[in-house]
């Protein structure tokens, strides 16, 4: 029974009704001597609450104090302005602002000040998305502190070298997966060996996080492990992940089985004095298909018949390069053939799936984007599979053609990175059009847009925007911009200028003011 349980029991029973006396371990108990039972209980609760904040878990059988924190290798923040911003964002739970600040601290060789470490760690406990940037900005003291509290175990290895074995032995699933990805770049065979040895004892959720690490430098040597996982793993999700990785190995037995199943679906016919390619689904679902993670019945929400669903799955797993060899056509022409087919919906959906599962085919992605015929969200997701330069260009085109505020909100929500200046300018030009539509989803996405703007554009002129009925939302938008400006001023990342109107933000800085905190 924990000390908190003892306190709760004593409080419920009453100190005069037979509850066991309250005792704290070690020298902490000296703080309870010479006072009445009621005061003793309340003081013990206060001591334990303070111990929780300090990441200390008093245990009745443990008398030894923890070893001191190692010397700090980063420079703790001392600037009052920056400290005030960090404190505000931690207390208010402003995760995106705090994550950006942590990344800037890491780049500058700085770390969070000591007094902000406990609340920052507590915030990281509640938010998985914050953990990685937070780990990088904790410093040695923060990692030591996290090691004293089981609730903060996610950060106990913060600051460890990227290939330090402790990350694999003691880290959480995400840290272990990141370790494997890094090890794959230097010793792929060892990374595969570690994964294979650990797999039998891991939970399905953990296996699903670790297995995609094999995608880093995927090689034919990985096929036996992936094939065994596909055949034997108890988790449907893990088997599907193995199938996806095998589909990226064109010479694998899995990929060859998919090709063989599609071969019988493709034939040439003479129509109107010319030869055309005809693609049709299989006539039946073979018994051995389930072993390759193929499903006989389409899931709820997929508006395809059984045969179309089978075709879509086969196309999704077949190597894209095979199609070019089989039909002797480029991606755009292959998609044109698919678009003329009676089974167009299944084929194009299958190609989109293949692109999401087989990276490194920009010609296919650009050809599919140029053809269109699918949802705005699918277009954005396809663009995100390209390298950053191509992604940026495609997203600019999508924004330029998007007058619908709801569709703009989808793009803002999906493109979760700091945008280029050109992409932001494309969005800035459309802001008045989107605002006057009073779209509820865009209203929610507007604050996210404030986090996408590149640092060099944070001082852009936003006068002339229609305020009503979005006055409150635009105020929040402008507040985020001003806070990001303040943050980047502290790192001297851009000149301080501001042409925002007073209608958008109250706290304005005069042009030419010094770039300091």
- Three-class DSSP category at 46: helix
Residue 497, pLDDT > 70, answer: no
Q: Which two tokens stand for residue 497?
A: 């200028």
Looking at the DSSP bridge assignments, the partners of residue 271 are 274
Contact between residue 98 and residue 90 where contact means Cβ atoms under 8 Å apart: yes
Residue 18, pLDDT > 60, answer: no
Q: Which of 14-18, 50-54, 99-103, 112-116 has the lowest mean pLDDT?
A: 14-18
Task: For residue 374, give the DSSP letter.
Answer: S
pTM: 0.77
Long-range interactions of 123-132: CB distance < 8 A, separation 24+: 123/90, 123/93, 123/95, 123/98, 124/152, 124/154, 124/155, 125/151, 125/152, 125/154, 127/95, 128/174, 129/95, 129/99, 130/95, 130/98, 130/99, 131/155, 131/174, 132/174
In this predicted structure, what is the pLDDT of residue 372? 79
Residue 500, pLDDT > 50, answer: no
In this predicted structure, what is the pLDDT of residue 17? 61
Which helix or strand (DSSP H or E) is residue 233 part of? none
Contact between residue 424 and residue 457 where contact means Cβ atoms under 8 Å apart: yes
Q: Are residue 320 and residue 416 in the same domain, yes or no?
A: no
Q: Are residue 300 and residue 363 in the same domain, yes or no?
A: yes
In this predicted structure, what is the pLDDT of residue 496? 38
In this predicted structure, what is the pLDDT of residue 239? 97
E runs forming strands in 192-265 = none
In this predicted structure, what is the pLDDT of residue 301? 85
pLDDT, one tens digit per residue, over 247-258 is 999 999 999 999
Quote the CA–CA distance of 94 and 123 in Å, as a whole number: 10
Q: Are residue 37 and residue 137 in the same domain, yes or no?
A: no
Which helix or strand (DSSP H or E) is residue 407 part of? helix 405-414
In this predicted structure, what is the pLDDT of residue 467? 52
Point out the domain boundary residue: 159, 177, 202: 159
When pLDDT is averaged across residues 140-155 and rounded to a whole number, the result is 91
pLDDT, one tens digit per residue, over 78-101 is 999 999 999 999 999 999 999 999
Quote the CA–CA distance of 285 and 302 in Å, as a whole number: 18
* Residue at 361 is within a domain: yes
Average pLDDT, the chain: 86
* Residue at 58 is within a domain: no
Point out the domain boundary residue: 142, 159, 176: 159
* Residue at 166 is within a domain: no
Residue 426, pLDDT > 50, answer: yes
Greater confidence (55 vs 277) lies with 277
Q: Are residue 433 and residue 479 in the same domain, yes or no?
A: yes
When pLDDT is averaged across residues 494-498 and rounded to a whole number, the result is 39
Pairing outcome for strands 75-76 and 110-111: parallel
Which distant-in-sequence residues (6+ apart) come within 8 Å of 155 by Cβ? 121, 124, 131, 134, 135, 138, 142, 143, 146
* Residue at 297 is within a domain: yes
Task: Quote the domain boundaries for residue 83.
Answer: 75-159
pLDDT, one tens digit per residue, over 218-232 is 999 999 999 999 999
* Residue at 394 is within a domain: yes
Q: Are residue 386 and residue 285 in the same domain, yes or no?
A: no
pLDDT, one tens digit per residue, over 155-170 is 998 878 888 999 999 9
In this predicted structure, what is the pLDDT of residue 516? 39
Contact between residue 179 and residue 163 where contact means Cβ atoms under 8 Å apart: yes
Which distant-in-sequence residues (6+ apart) come within 8 Å of 75 by Cβ? 109, 110, 111
Greater confidence (410 vs 498) lies with 410
- Three-class DSSP category at 258: helix
Point out the domain boundary residue: 96, 124, 159: 159
Q: Are residue 367 and residue 388 in the same domain, yes or no?
A: no
Which distant-in-sequence residues (6+ apart) come within 8 Å of 436 by Cβ? 466
pLDDT, one tens digit per residue, over 122-132 is 999 999 999 99
């Amino acid at each position: 029974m924990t000390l908190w349980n003892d306190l709760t029991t004593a409080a419920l029973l009453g100190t005069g009704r037979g509850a066991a006396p309250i005792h704290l371990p070690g020298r902490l108990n000296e703080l309870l001597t010479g006072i009445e039972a009621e005061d003793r209980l309340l003081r013990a609760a206060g001591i334990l609450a303070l111990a929780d904040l300090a990441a200390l878990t008093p245990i009745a059988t443990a008398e030894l104090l923890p070893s001191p924190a190692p010397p700090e290798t980063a420079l703790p923040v001392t600037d009052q302005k920056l400290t005030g911003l960090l404190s505000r964002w931690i207390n208010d739970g402003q995760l995106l602002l705090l994550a950006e600040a942590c990344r800037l601290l890491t780049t500058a060789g700085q770390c969070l000040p000591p007094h902000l470490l406990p609340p920052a760690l507590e915030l990281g406990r509640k938010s998985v998305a914050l953990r990685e940037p937070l780990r990088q900005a904790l410093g040695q003291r923060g990692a030591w502190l996290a090691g004293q509290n089981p609730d903060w175990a996610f950060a106990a290895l913060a600051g460890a070298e990227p290939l330090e074995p402790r990350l694999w032995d003691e880290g959480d699933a995400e840290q272990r997966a990141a370790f494997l990805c890094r090890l794959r770049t230097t010793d792929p065979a060892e990374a595969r060996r570690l994964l294979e040895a650990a797999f039998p004892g891991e939970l399905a959720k953990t296996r699903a996080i670790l297995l995609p690490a094999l995608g880093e430098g995927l090689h034919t040597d990985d096929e036996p492990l992936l094939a065994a996982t596909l055949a034997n793993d108890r988790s449907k999700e893990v088997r599907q992940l193995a199938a996806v990785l095998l589909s990226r190995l064109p010479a694998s037995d899995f990929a060859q089985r998919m090709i063989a199943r599609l071969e019988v679906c493709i034939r040439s016919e003479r129509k109107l004095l010319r030869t055309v390619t005809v693609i049709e689904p299989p006539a039946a679902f073979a018994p051995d298909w389930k072993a390759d993670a193929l499903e006989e019945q389409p899931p709820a929400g997929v508006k395809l018949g059984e045969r179309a669903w089978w075709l879509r799955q086969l196309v999704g797993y077949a190597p894209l390069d095979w199609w070019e060899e089989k039909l002797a056509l480029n991606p755009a022409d292959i998609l044109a053939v698919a678009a003329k087919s009676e089974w167009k919906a299944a084929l194009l959906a299958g190609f989109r799936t293949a692109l999401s599962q087989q990276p490194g085919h920009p010609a296919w992605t650009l050809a599919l984007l140029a053809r269109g015929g699918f949802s705005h969200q699918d277009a954005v997701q396809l663009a995100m599979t390209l390298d950053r330069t191509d992604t940026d260009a495609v997203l600019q085109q999508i924004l330029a053609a998007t007058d619908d505020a709801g569709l703009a909100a989808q793009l803002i929500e999906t493109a979760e990175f700091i945008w280029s200046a050109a992409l932001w300018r494309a969005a800035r030009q459309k802001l008045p059009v989107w605002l006057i539509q009073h779209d509820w989803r865009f209203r929610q996405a507007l604050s996210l847009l404030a986090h996408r703007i590149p640092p060099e554009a944070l001082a852009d002129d936003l006068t002339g925007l229609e305020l009503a009925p979005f006055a409150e939302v635009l105020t929040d938008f402008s507040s985020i911009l001003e806070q990001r400006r303040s943050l980047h001023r502290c790192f001297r990342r851009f000149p301080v200028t501001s042409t925002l109107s007073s209608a958008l933000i109250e706290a304005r800085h005069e042009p030419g003011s010094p770039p300091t905190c």
